[in-house]
Chains A and B, each alone.
Chain A
Amino acid sequence: MILVQVVVSGLLMGSVYALFSSGLTLIWGMMNVVNFAHGDFVMLAMYAAFFAFTLLKLGPVFFVPGAAVLLFLLGVIVYLGLVRHVSKGPMLAQILGTFGLALVLRYAAFWAFTANFVSLPDTLVGGTFDLGGVRVEASRLLAGVLALIITIGMHLVLTRTALGSRLLAVSEDRNAAMLMGIRPDRMQALAWGVGAASTGVAGALIALFFYISPTVGESLSLIAFVVVCLGGFGSVPGALIAGLGIGVVEALSAYLIGAVYQDVVVYALFLGVLWVRPQGLLGTN
């Protein structure tokens, strides 16, 4: 029974991983640029939720959409100010650009909010549910289910709407899309906005039950890379499956081997898959 409990909590966490990794996979598939600051975006959203509650007394109904809007704007600004320029430069510039951004965000947070862990009160979304003998905290359940719905929604918007088609057209062939009257720059800015907004929602949701610290983004970035690599670049369904899978693997290894080794197992799995299938588990090219 305890094993079922572990798997369920892994799936709920994995669903949030899937959400912010979908944002990364969108950006990545779109322009073949990696956002090394992706996890730090999640960290910012967590702090945004924390301060919205402690300073402005706003509840999750306000701060989850609020963080999404805030991060959307950050994503667009980062694209226009930095990524648009470095994506045409050499490899080193592409890596240094968002890596530098990650350092600035991480240590600015360190400096502004100190290294102390903070967290929202457990009672914000309190209570536990008993689902056939499996006990689930309401906050985790809410975060997991909401993240799942939004991820699936993102996939539907991408595949079923005209805007989604325009986005996918640019990621498939920038020049051809341009000839069809689509403005690639706008679409890429939008992709960065949406990708960052996904970290906004995910961060605000994780903040409901997870500790918040300036350096939490480092391991979240790596988790997003792992999920995207496993799920295939640019594939939201792939990110969903891989996100859930990583959540379960992490929860199981924390339970079976020990919490300190959960990241070791995830990274080892990541390296193993990259060696065997450099294009990702579900990737094709």
Chain B
Amino acid sequence: MSSSQNRILILIGFLFIAAWPLLVDDVFLQRIGALVLLAAISASAWNLLGGYAGQVSVGHAVYFGAGAYASLVVYTQFGWPPIFGAPIGVAVSMAIAALVGTPTFRLRGHYFSMATIAAAELIRILASNWPLVGAAVGLMGPPVPRSFWDLSFISPLPYHYIFLAVLVVLLGLTWHLQRSKMGYYLAAIRGGDRAAGSLGVPVLRYKVYALLLSAGFTSIAGSLYAVMVGFVDPDSALGILISVKMLIVAALGGAGSLFGPLVGAIILIPLEETTNAIFGGGGTGITFIVYGAIILLIARFQPGGVAALWNALTARRQSRVS
């Protein structure tokens, strides 16, 4: 498949996603559309570090939680519209990233992943016991919208376009990054950081750049989540499953590929929402059995995710043509 054909496919896909809430009447389906985009934002943000730089973080819930909590803390403490907390969330996330991330980067492979789990669990337990952030109960957003800036809408449609705009910015940035010096540095680091270092790549500095970018966008995803849902508690914002979800969405679509996380979100989120709708609250367990089985099977049979599968299929077709 040639690149111009690929480009047309991407354009059609994008138009379809943009038109989705107008194509369907059902609020449930519109909501799924918005949630797909939100999951795509956080997984694409994770992808900057976990995919492109190959540093598999299982603790990104910390940054998601920082964004989500910042939004609702500015509301409960100062009465500001929750979205005004987003920049604060980004700042806090980047500070945590610099503080926690920099030392953990000395660790390789499994050790890095484990350190990120431990750091995230540590922060979750602390937040669960901190009254300012609502401790175990969590925080609520404005019950009724006070002004436009509360961004509290009944229809999922406005959220769909807000999320789409953020995703386009993030993917545009990622696309640019992929083709820049930093993209090549990150690819070298993913290949092996000792080798990259010996070739003159400033390994630590570029890992930190990737982490800061990744943490910042993950935090924005958290803020958007809090603005849409209007509620945050330790499990829904800082739980290990939040981190795992980003990882699964990205890995299913293809970690380290531009559209991988979006593809993963398009497959997984409708699946999750449907099982939740069918099984009710008890569906959470089943959802994660399915999630676990999916990542187990990806690891066993197709570590590159859907993106690798796609490349393999199109390459075979091309070789047949020629």
Contacts and interface: CB of A to CB of B under 8 A. Distances in A.
A271 B118 CA distance: 7
Interface in A227-265: 229, 260-261, 263-264
A103 B303 contact: no
Nearest to A270: B118
Interface stretch (B14-22, B25-33, B75-83, B283-291): B283-291
A21 interface: no
Interface in B105-141: 106-107, 109-111, 113-115, 117-119, 121-122, 125-126, 128-129
A92 B303 contact: yes
Contacts of B294: 100
B74 interface: no
A96 B251 contact: yes
B299 A271 contact: no
Contacts of A94: 109-110, 299
Interface in A91-128: 91-97, 99-108, 110-111
Contact of A268 (B54, B122, B129, B251): B122
A93 B303 contact: yes
A128 B220 CA distance: 55
Interface residues of B, number: 44
B103 interface: yes
B300 A225 contact: no
A93 B114 contact: no
A97 B297 CA distance: 8
Interface string A19-35: 00000000000000110
B289 A90 contact: no
B110 A99 contact: no
Interface residues of A, number: 43
Q: Which of B119, B244, B288, B296: most chain A CB closer than 10 A?
A: B296
B160 to A, nearest CB: 29
Nearest to A219: B121
A164 B115 CA distance: 31
B240 interface: yes
Nearest to A82: B300
Interface string A67-99: 000000000000000100110011111111101
Contact of B119 (A85, A86, A271): A271
Given A89-B303, A96-B247, A34 B114 contact: yes
A264 B292 contact: no
Nearest to A221: B117
Nearest to A90: B303
Contacts of A110: 285, 288
B118 A103 contact: no
B68 interface: no
Contacts of B291: 100, 103
B117 to A, nearest CB: 7
Contacts of B282: 111
Overall SS of chain B's interface: helix
B275 to A, nearest CB: 12
A260 B240 contact: no
B208 interface: no
A222 B117 contact: yes
Contacts of B122: 263-264, 267-268, 271
A86 B292 CA distance: 15
Contacts of B300: 82, 85-86, 93, 97
Contacts of B111: 229, 274, 278
A278 B247 contact: no
Contact of B292 (A33, A95, A107, A218): A107
Contacts of A225: 114, 117-118
Contacts of A271: 103-104, 115, 118-119, 122
Contacts of A263: 121-122, 125
A111 B286 contact: yes
A159 B58 CA distance: 36
26 contacts: A91-B54, A91-B110, A92-B56, A92-B251, A94-B299, A95-B58, A95-B113, A96-B247, A96-B299, A99-B58, A99-B292, A99-B295, A100-B294, A100-B295, A103-B288, A103-B289, A106-B288, A110-B285, A219-B121, A229-B111, A229-B114, A263-B121, A263-B122, A264-B126, A271-B118, A274-B107
Interface of B: 50, 54, 56, 58, 103-104, 106-107, 109-111, 113-115, 117-119, 121-122, 125-126, 128-129, 240, 244, 247, 251, 255, 282, 285-286, 288-289, 291-300, 303
Interface of A: 33-34, 82, 85-86, 89-97, 99-108, 110-111, 218-219, 222, 225-226, 229, 260-261, 263-264, 267-268, 270-271, 274-275, 278
Q: Top 3 nearest A-B pairs by Cβ distance?
A: A103-B292, A100-B296, A97-B299
Given A92-B255, A267-B122, A270-B115, 12 more contacts: A86-B299, A94-B109, A97-B295, A100-B298, A102-B292, A103-B295, A106-B288, A222-B118, A263-B122, A267-B118, A270-B118, A275-B104
